[in-house]
Structure 1
Protein backbone atom coordinates (compact mmCIF):
# COMPACT_ATOMS: atom_id res chain seq x y z
CA UNK A 1 0.00 0.00 0.00
CA UNK A 2 2.82 2.38 0.90
CA UNK A 3 4.53 1.71 -2.44
CA UNK A 4 1.30 2.35 -4.35
CA UNK A 5 0.72 5.61 -2.47
CA UNK A 6 4.28 6.72 -3.19
CA UNK A 7 3.89 6.01 -6.90
CA UNK A 8 0.59 7.92 -6.91
CA UNK A 9 2.16 10.94 -5.27
CA UNK A 10 5.04 10.96 -7.72
CA UNK A 11 2.61 10.67 -10.62
CA UNK A 12 0.23 13.40 -9.49
CA UNK A 13 2.74 15.92 -8.16
CA UNK A 14 4.06 17.12 -11.55
CA UNK A 15 0.48 17.81 -12.64
CA UNK A 16 0.07 20.47 -9.95
CA UNK A 17 1.74 23.50 -11.48
CA UNK A 18 2.62 26.44 -9.28
CA UNK A 19 1.05 29.76 -10.26
CA UNK A 20 2.58 33.21 -10.30
CA UNK A 21 0.44 36.27 -9.69
CA UNK A 22 0.61 39.12 -12.19
CA UNK A 23 -0.79 42.60 -11.67
CA UNK A 24 -2.40 44.29 -14.65
CA UNK A 25 -2.95 48.04 -14.95
CA UNK A 26 -5.67 49.18 -17.37
CA UNK A 27 -5.19 52.71 -18.68
CA UNK A 28 -6.77 55.19 -21.07
CA UNK A 29 -4.78 55.08 -24.33
CA UNK A 30 -5.05 58.87 -24.74
CA UNK A 31 -4.34 60.20 -21.27
CA UNK A 32 -2.84 57.20 -19.49
CA UNK A 33 -5.34 57.47 -16.64
CA UNK A 34 -6.28 54.29 -14.74
CA UNK A 35 -9.55 52.66 -15.79
CA UNK A 36 -12.00 51.23 -13.28
CA UNK A 37 -14.26 48.35 -14.39
CA UNK A 38 -11.93 47.14 -17.14
CA UNK A 39 -12.16 43.38 -17.62
CA UNK A 40 -8.93 41.49 -18.37
CA UNK A 41 -9.20 37.96 -19.78
CA UNK A 42 -6.31 35.52 -19.96
CA UNK A 43 -6.08 32.80 -22.66
CA UNK A 44 -6.75 30.09 -20.10
CA UNK A 45 -10.04 28.39 -19.17
CA UNK A 46 -11.40 29.35 -15.79
CA UNK A 47 -12.42 26.77 -13.23
CA UNK A 48 -16.10 25.94 -13.83
CA UNK A 49 -18.14 27.52 -11.08
CA UNK A 50 -21.89 27.28 -10.63
CA UNK A 51 -23.01 30.68 -9.48
CA UNK A 52 -26.01 32.86 -8.87
CA UNK A 53 -25.62 36.60 -9.14
CA UNK A 54 -27.51 39.86 -8.71
CA UNK A 55 -27.73 43.03 -10.77
CA UNK A 56 -29.39 45.49 -8.41
CA UNK A 57 -31.21 48.68 -9.35
CA UNK A 58 -30.40 51.25 -6.70
CA UNK A 59 -30.44 55.05 -6.85
CA UNK A 60 -31.59 54.63 -10.46
CA UNK A 61 -28.37 52.84 -11.37
CA UNK A 62 -27.36 49.26 -12.10
CA UNK A 63 -25.16 47.96 -9.29
CA UNK A 64 -22.58 46.76 -10.10
CA UNK A 65 -22.14 48.71 -13.31
CA UNK A 66 -20.22 45.73 -14.75
CA UNK A 67 -20.98 42.16 -13.71
CA UNK A 68 -18.74 39.29 -14.91
CA UNK A 69 -20.18 35.78 -14.72
CA UNK A 70 -19.50 32.27 -16.06
CA UNK A 71 -21.91 30.67 -18.56
CA UNK A 72 -24.94 29.07 -16.98
CA UNK A 73 -25.27 31.71 -14.26
CA UNK A 74 -28.73 32.84 -13.22
CA UNK A 75 -28.94 36.56 -12.46
CA UNK A 76 -31.68 38.18 -10.41
CA UNK A 77 -32.60 41.86 -10.82
CA UNK A 78 -33.87 43.18 -7.46
CA UNK A 79 -35.25 46.73 -7.51
CA UNK A 80 -34.33 48.64 -4.36
CA UNK A 81 -35.63 51.99 -5.58
CA UNK A 82 -38.95 53.54 -4.65
CA UNK A 83 -39.85 53.72 -8.32
CA UNK A 84 -40.52 50.95 -10.82
CA UNK A 85 -38.01 49.81 -13.45
CA UNK A 86 -38.36 48.07 -16.80
CA UNK A 87 -35.12 46.18 -17.48
CA UNK A 88 -34.27 44.99 -20.99
CA UNK A 89 -31.47 43.92 -23.31
CA UNK A 90 -31.36 43.85 -27.10
CA UNK A 91 -27.90 42.24 -27.15
CA UNK A 92 -27.65 39.15 -29.39
CA UNK A 93 -25.88 37.30 -26.57
CA UNK A 94 -29.06 37.54 -24.47
CA UNK A 95 -32.23 39.35 -25.45
CA UNK A 96 -34.77 39.66 -22.66
CA UNK A 97 -37.23 41.98 -20.97
CA UNK A 98 -38.49 42.31 -17.41
CA UNK A 99 -41.55 44.52 -17.65
CA UNK A 100 -42.35 47.30 -15.23
CA UNK A 101 -41.84 46.01 -11.67
CA UNK A 102 -40.88 46.79 -8.11
CA UNK A 103 -39.16 44.51 -5.62
CA UNK A 104 -37.80 41.21 -6.91
CA UNK A 105 -38.92 39.66 -10.23
CA UNK A 106 -40.52 36.22 -10.09
CA UNK A 107 -37.62 34.42 -11.78
CA UNK A 108 -33.95 35.13 -12.50
CA UNK A 109 -32.53 35.32 -16.03
CA UNK A 110 -30.13 32.57 -17.14
CA UNK A 111 -27.07 33.51 -19.25
CA UNK A 112 -25.68 30.56 -21.23
CA UNK A 113 -23.80 32.25 -24.10
CA UNK A 114 -20.45 34.00 -23.76
CA UNK A 115 -20.23 37.65 -24.74
CA UNK A 116 -21.34 41.10 -23.61
CA UNK A 117 -24.91 41.94 -22.63
CA UNK A 118 -25.86 45.64 -22.41
CA UNK A 119 -28.70 46.50 -20.06
CA UNK A 120 -31.10 49.43 -20.11
CA UNK A 121 -34.27 50.66 -18.44
CA UNK A 122 -37.25 51.78 -20.51
CA UNK A 123 -38.28 54.21 -17.78
CA UNK A 124 -34.90 55.80 -17.01
CA UNK A 125 -32.92 56.50 -20.16
CA UNK A 126 -29.66 57.20 -18.37
CA UNK A 127 -29.49 53.78 -16.71
CA UNK A 128 -26.93 51.49 -18.30
CA UNK A 129 -25.27 48.32 -17.09
CA UNK A 130 -23.28 45.43 -18.53
CA UNK A 131 -23.04 41.69 -17.96
CA UNK A 132 -19.99 39.99 -19.43
CA UNK A 133 -20.30 36.21 -19.73
CA UNK A 134 -16.99 34.36 -20.09
CA UNK A 135 -15.46 30.93 -19.50
CA UNK A 136 -11.93 32.35 -19.44
CA UNK A 137 -9.80 33.31 -16.48
CA UNK A 138 -10.58 36.94 -15.80
CA UNK A 139 -10.55 39.84 -13.40
CA UNK A 140 -12.05 43.32 -13.17
CA UNK A 141 -9.97 46.36 -12.29
CA UNK A 142 -10.44 48.31 -9.07
CA UNK A 143 -10.57 52.08 -8.57
CA UNK A 144 -6.80 52.23 -9.16
CA UNK A 145 -7.15 50.43 -12.51
CA UNK A 146 -5.45 47.28 -11.21
CA UNK A 147 -6.32 43.60 -11.01
CA UNK A 148 -4.19 40.55 -10.15
CA UNK A 149 -4.44 37.24 -11.99
CA UNK A 150 -2.66 33.90 -11.61
CA UNK A 151 -0.58 32.41 -14.41
CA UNK A 152 1.48 29.16 -14.35
CA UNK A 153 5.05 30.07 -13.47
CA UNK A 154 6.39 27.44 -15.89
CA UNK A 155 4.78 29.25 -18.85
CA UNK A 156 5.74 32.62 -20.33
CA UNK A 157 3.16 35.36 -20.07
CA UNK A 158 1.23 35.59 -23.38
CA UNK A 159 1.98 38.39 -25.83
CA UNK A 160 -1.60 39.61 -25.68
CA UNK A 161 -4.71 39.43 -23.56
CA UNK A 162 -8.35 40.16 -24.27
CA UNK A 163 -9.83 43.22 -22.60
CA UNK A 164 -13.08 45.14 -22.36
CA UNK A 165 -14.35 48.38 -20.87
CA UNK A 166 -17.78 50.07 -20.80
CA UNK A 167 -16.38 53.14 -22.59
CA UNK A 168 -15.02 51.33 -25.63
CA UNK A 169 -16.46 52.57 -28.93
CA UNK A 170 -17.95 49.12 -29.52
CA UNK A 171 -18.99 47.65 -26.18
CA UNK A 172 -20.32 44.47 -27.79
CA UNK A 173 -16.83 43.11 -28.53
CA UNK A 174 -13.72 42.18 -26.59
CA UNK A 175 -10.39 43.65 -27.72
CA UNK A 176 -7.14 41.80 -28.32
CA UNK A 177 -4.46 43.94 -26.67
CA UNK A 178 -0.71 43.43 -26.98
CA UNK A 179 1.13 43.54 -23.65
CA UNK A 180 4.75 43.91 -22.61
CA UNK A 181 5.77 42.64 -19.18
CA UNK A 182 8.70 43.79 -17.07
CA UNK A 183 9.74 42.04 -13.84
CA UNK A 184 8.43 43.80 -10.75
CA UNK A 185 6.12 46.13 -12.69
CA UNK A 186 2.39 45.96 -13.45
CA UNK A 187 1.53 44.80 -16.96
CA UNK A 188 -0.08 47.78 -18.69
CA UNK A 189 -3.18 47.22 -20.82
CA UNK A 190 -3.91 50.38 -22.82
CA UNK A 191 -7.47 50.80 -24.12
CA UNK A 192 -8.88 53.38 -26.60
CA UNK A 193 -11.88 54.46 -24.54
CA UNK A 194 -14.27 57.35 -25.05
CA UNK A 195 -14.14 60.32 -22.63
CA UNK A 196 -15.96 59.83 -19.36
CA UNK A 197 -19.44 61.39 -19.39
CA UNK A 198 -19.89 64.57 -17.42
CA UNK A 199 -21.66 64.17 -14.10
CA UNK A 200 -25.24 65.33 -14.43
CA UNK A 201 -27.41 65.55 -11.33
CA UNK A 202 -30.45 66.75 -13.24
CA UNK A 203 -33.55 64.59 -13.72
CA UNK A 204 -33.60 62.34 -16.76
CA UNK A 205 -35.77 63.43 -19.69
CA UNK A 206 -38.84 61.34 -18.83
CA UNK A 207 -38.88 62.39 -15.18
CA UNK A 208 -38.46 66.02 -16.22
CA UNK A 209 -41.48 65.77 -18.51
CA UNK A 210 -43.56 64.43 -15.63
CA UNK A 211 -42.52 67.39 -13.48
CA UNK A 212 -43.56 69.82 -16.25
CA UNK A 213 -47.09 68.37 -16.66
Structure 2
Protein backbone atom coordinates (compact mmCIF):
# COMPACT_ATOMS: atom_id res chain seq x y z
CA UNK A 1 0.00 0.00 0.00
CA UNK A 2 2.80 2.35 0.91
CA UNK A 3 4.56 1.52 -2.39
CA UNK A 4 1.41 2.26 -4.38
CA UNK A 5 0.99 5.58 -2.60
CA UNK A 6 4.62 6.51 -3.35
CA UNK A 7 4.19 5.55 -7.02
CA UNK A 8 1.10 7.72 -7.24
CA UNK A 9 2.92 10.72 -5.71
CA UNK A 10 5.83 10.33 -8.14
CA UNK A 11 3.45 10.10 -11.09
CA UNK A 12 1.59 13.19 -9.88
CA UNK A 13 4.86 15.10 -9.45
CA UNK A 14 5.94 14.20 -12.99
CA UNK A 15 2.57 15.28 -14.35
CA UNK A 16 2.73 18.63 -12.57
CA UNK A 17 6.32 19.18 -13.67
CA UNK A 18 5.44 18.42 -17.27
CA UNK A 19 2.53 20.83 -17.04
CA UNK A 20 4.65 23.79 -15.97
CA UNK A 21 7.51 23.23 -18.39
CA UNK A 22 7.50 24.55 -21.93
CA UNK A 23 9.83 24.41 -24.87
CA UNK A 24 11.94 27.38 -25.82
CA UNK A 25 10.38 30.35 -27.58
CA UNK A 26 12.26 32.06 -30.40
CA UNK A 27 11.44 35.55 -31.60
CA UNK A 28 12.55 36.62 -35.09
CA UNK A 29 12.18 40.34 -35.80
CA UNK A 30 12.54 42.25 -39.07
CA UNK A 31 11.68 45.82 -40.00
CA UNK A 32 9.40 46.94 -42.83
CA UNK A 33 12.26 46.41 -45.30
CA UNK A 34 12.86 42.85 -44.03
CA UNK A 35 16.11 43.90 -42.36
CA UNK A 36 16.75 42.19 -38.98
CA UNK A 37 16.30 44.46 -35.98
CA UNK A 38 19.15 44.15 -33.48
CA UNK A 39 19.12 45.27 -29.82
CA UNK A 40 15.32 45.11 -29.63
CA UNK A 41 14.23 44.74 -25.99
CA UNK A 42 11.75 41.86 -25.60
CA UNK A 43 9.97 40.62 -22.48
CA UNK A 44 7.23 38.13 -21.63
CA UNK A 45 4.85 38.70 -18.71
CA UNK A 46 2.76 35.71 -17.52
CA UNK A 47 -1.03 36.08 -17.54
CA UNK A 48 -1.97 32.81 -15.83
CA UNK A 49 0.25 32.97 -12.74
CA UNK A 50 2.04 35.51 -10.54
CA UNK A 51 5.38 36.80 -11.71
CA UNK A 52 8.20 35.07 -9.79
CA UNK A 53 9.90 37.35 -7.27
CA UNK A 54 13.13 38.96 -8.35
CA UNK A 55 16.37 37.78 -6.76
CA UNK A 56 18.42 40.24 -4.76
CA UNK A 57 21.75 41.72 -5.84
CA UNK A 58 20.88 42.30 -9.49
CA UNK A 59 23.55 44.36 -11.28
CA UNK A 60 24.07 45.91 -14.72
CA UNK A 61 26.52 48.39 -16.21
CA UNK A 62 26.19 51.30 -18.64
CA UNK A 63 29.67 52.59 -19.49
CA UNK A 64 30.65 56.13 -20.36
CA UNK A 65 33.39 55.50 -22.90
CA UNK A 66 34.62 57.42 -25.95
CA UNK A 67 31.99 60.02 -25.09
CA UNK A 68 29.18 57.51 -25.61
CA UNK A 69 27.00 55.34 -23.41
CA UNK A 70 27.52 51.62 -23.92
CA UNK A 71 25.25 49.78 -24.39
CA UNK A 72 22.90 52.09 -26.25
CA UNK A 73 19.92 49.93 -25.20
CA UNK A 74 19.75 47.59 -22.22
CA UNK A 75 16.99 45.68 -20.46
CA UNK A 76 17.04 44.84 -16.75
CA UNK A 77 14.67 43.57 -14.10
CA UNK A 78 13.03 45.76 -11.47
CA UNK A 79 15.40 46.23 -8.53
CA UNK A 80 18.60 46.15 -10.60
CA UNK A 81 21.49 48.34 -9.48
CA UNK A 82 22.92 49.98 -12.61
CA UNK A 83 26.49 51.27 -12.45
CA UNK A 84 27.63 54.18 -14.63
CA UNK A 85 31.45 54.05 -14.73
CA UNK A 86 33.20 56.95 -16.46
CA UNK A 87 36.04 55.47 -18.53
CA UNK A 88 36.82 58.76 -20.30
CA UNK A 89 39.37 61.44 -19.48
CA UNK A 90 36.65 64.08 -19.58
CA UNK A 91 33.83 64.81 -17.16
CA UNK A 92 30.25 63.68 -17.68
CA UNK A 93 26.98 64.64 -16.01
CA UNK A 94 24.53 61.71 -16.18
CA UNK A 95 20.81 62.27 -15.66
CA UNK A 96 17.33 61.00 -16.39
CA UNK A 97 14.03 62.89 -16.21
CA UNK A 98 11.88 59.83 -16.89
CA UNK A 99 8.77 59.05 -14.88
CA UNK A 100 10.01 55.61 -13.67
CA UNK A 101 13.34 57.01 -12.45
CA UNK A 102 14.50 60.58 -12.05
CA UNK A 103 18.13 60.78 -11.02
CA UNK A 104 21.26 62.81 -11.48
CA UNK A 105 24.94 61.94 -11.24
CA UNK A 106 26.70 65.33 -11.14
CA UNK A 107 29.95 66.14 -12.87
CA UNK A 108 32.40 63.29 -12.41
CA UNK A 109 35.74 62.53 -14.00
CA UNK A 110 37.49 59.42 -15.23
CA UNK A 111 37.77 56.29 -13.10
CA UNK A 112 34.66 57.24 -11.10
CA UNK A 113 31.60 55.01 -10.81
CA UNK A 114 28.16 55.89 -9.47
CA UNK A 115 25.17 53.54 -9.28
CA UNK A 116 21.39 53.88 -9.32
CA UNK A 117 18.79 51.29 -8.26
CA UNK A 118 15.91 51.11 -10.75
CA UNK A 119 12.88 49.98 -8.76
CA UNK A 120 9.99 50.80 -11.13
CA UNK A 121 9.19 49.29 -14.55
CA UNK A 122 9.29 51.51 -17.63
CA UNK A 123 11.51 53.06 -20.29
CA UNK A 124 14.32 55.21 -18.90
CA UNK A 125 16.23 57.48 -21.31
CA UNK A 126 19.61 58.50 -19.89
CA UNK A 127 21.58 61.50 -21.11
CA UNK A 128 24.66 63.61 -20.40
CA UNK A 129 24.24 67.30 -19.62
CA UNK A 130 27.64 68.04 -21.14
CA UNK A 131 27.48 66.01 -24.34
CA UNK A 132 24.07 66.24 -25.99
CA UNK A 133 24.65 63.29 -28.33
CA UNK A 134 25.22 60.86 -25.47
CA UNK A 135 22.05 58.88 -24.83
CA UNK A 136 21.19 55.44 -23.55
CA UNK A 137 17.87 53.68 -23.01
CA UNK A 138 17.23 51.30 -20.11
CA UNK A 139 14.11 49.13 -20.24
CA UNK A 140 13.08 48.01 -16.74
CA UNK A 141 10.69 45.04 -16.62
CA UNK A 142 8.95 43.10 -13.87
CA UNK A 143 9.50 39.58 -15.24
CA UNK A 144 12.42 37.13 -15.37
CA UNK A 145 11.82 36.34 -19.07
CA UNK A 146 13.47 39.03 -21.15
CA UNK A 147 16.37 39.69 -23.49
CA UNK A 148 17.52 41.50 -26.63
CA UNK A 149 17.69 40.42 -30.25
CA UNK A 150 21.08 39.69 -31.79
CA UNK A 151 22.49 41.02 -35.07
CA UNK A 152 20.22 38.60 -36.97
CA UNK A 153 17.12 39.88 -35.18
CA UNK A 154 16.73 36.70 -33.11
CA UNK A 155 16.12 36.10 -29.42
CA UNK A 156 15.66 32.70 -27.75
CA UNK A 157 14.10 32.40 -24.29
CA UNK A 158 14.16 29.04 -22.53
CA UNK A 159 12.36 27.10 -19.80
CA UNK A 160 9.21 29.16 -19.63
CA UNK A 161 6.20 27.58 -17.89
CA UNK A 162 3.28 26.72 -20.15
CA UNK A 163 0.50 29.27 -20.34
CA UNK A 164 -0.48 32.65 -21.73
CA UNK A 165 1.92 35.59 -21.88
CA UNK A 166 1.96 39.17 -23.01
CA UNK A 167 4.92 39.55 -25.35
CA UNK A 168 6.21 43.12 -25.52
CA UNK A 169 8.99 44.60 -27.61
CA UNK A 170 10.55 48.06 -27.56
CA UNK A 171 13.15 50.04 -29.49
CA UNK A 172 13.77 53.81 -29.58
CA UNK A 173 12.80 53.88 -33.26
CA UNK A 174 9.36 52.35 -32.62
CA UNK A 175 6.46 54.75 -32.09
CA UNK A 176 5.35 52.67 -29.10
CA UNK A 177 5.96 49.27 -27.57
CA UNK A 178 4.71 46.32 -29.58
CA UNK A 179 2.39 44.07 -27.55
CA UNK A 180 0.61 40.81 -28.31
CA UNK A 181 -0.62 37.75 -26.45
CA UNK A 182 1.00 34.36 -27.05
CA UNK A 183 0.34 30.90 -25.61
CA UNK A 184 3.06 28.39 -24.78
CA UNK A 185 2.14 24.71 -24.71
CA UNK A 186 4.13 22.30 -22.54
CA UNK A 187 6.82 20.52 -24.56
CA UNK A 188 6.04 22.45 -27.75
CA UNK A 189 8.56 24.94 -29.19
CA UNK A 190 7.15 28.23 -30.43
CA UNK A 191 8.53 30.60 -33.06
CA UNK A 192 7.15 34.14 -33.12
CA UNK A 193 7.92 36.16 -36.29
CA UNK A 194 7.52 39.91 -35.91
CA UNK A 195 7.60 42.66 -38.51
CA UNK A 196 7.92 46.08 -36.89
CA UNK A 197 7.94 49.47 -38.56
CA UNK A 198 10.96 51.52 -37.56
CA UNK A 199 11.18 55.29 -37.79
CA UNK A 200 14.32 56.91 -39.26
CA UNK A 201 17.31 57.10 -36.94
CA UNK A 202 17.42 60.74 -35.85
CA UNK A 203 20.03 60.50 -33.13
CA UNK A 204 22.37 63.46 -32.68
CA UNK A 205 25.86 62.71 -33.95
CA UNK A 206 29.05 63.53 -32.15
CA UNK A 207 30.81 66.64 -33.51
CA UNK A 208 34.21 66.09 -35.15
CA UNK A 209 37.19 66.45 -32.87
CA UNK A 210 40.37 68.41 -33.61
CA UNK A 211 41.54 65.62 -35.90
CA UNK A 212 38.30 65.67 -37.88
CA UNK A 213 37.02 62.43 -36.39
CA UNK A 214 33.35 62.11 -35.67
CA UNK A 215 30.42 60.14 -37.01
Q: Give the TM-score normalised by the residue count of structure 1.
A: 0.77
Structure 1 contact 42–162 (Cα < 8 Å) conserved? yes
Structure 1 contact 163–177 (Cα < 8 Å) conserved? no
- 1:99-178 matched pairs, under 5 angstroms: 99-102=106-109, 103-105=111-113, 107-136=114-143, 137-150=145-158, 155=163, 161-170=167-176, 174-177=177-180
Distance 2:42 2:173 in 1: 14
SS in structure 1 at match of 2:98: coil
Q: Which runs of 5+ in 1 are unaligned?
A: 209-213
- Tell me whether 93-102 or 146-155 shows the greater mean CA deviation: 146-155
> 1:59, CA displacement in angstroms?
1.3
Q: Deviations over 1:17-62 (max 9, x none)?
A: 332112211221x212111111122232366233111111111111
Which structure has more strand as a fraction of its residues? 2
Does 2:22 correspond to 1:19? yes
Distance 2:131 2:139 in 1: 22
Structure 1 contact 49–70 (Cα < 8 Å) conserved? no
Distance 1:95 1:126 in 2: 19
Structure 1 contact 94–117 (Cα < 8 Å) conserved? yes
- 1:32-47 matched pairs, under 5 angstroms: 32-44=34-46, 45=51
The 3 A distance-change label for structure 1 pair 54 and 5 is farther
Does 2:70 correspond to 1:63? yes
Distance 1:60 1:99 in 2: 16
Q: Give the TM-score normalised by the residue count of structure 2.
A: 0.77
Q: Which runs of 5+ in 2 are unaligned?
A: 211-215
> 1:167, CA displacement in angstroms?
1.3
RMSD: 3.2
**Which residue number corresponds to residue 213 of structure 2?**
none
Q: Deviations over 1:52-107 (max 9, x none)?
A: 111111111111111211111111100111111110001000001101102223x4
> 1:150, CA displacement in angstroms?
2.9
**Which residue number corresponds to residue 76 of structure 1?**
83
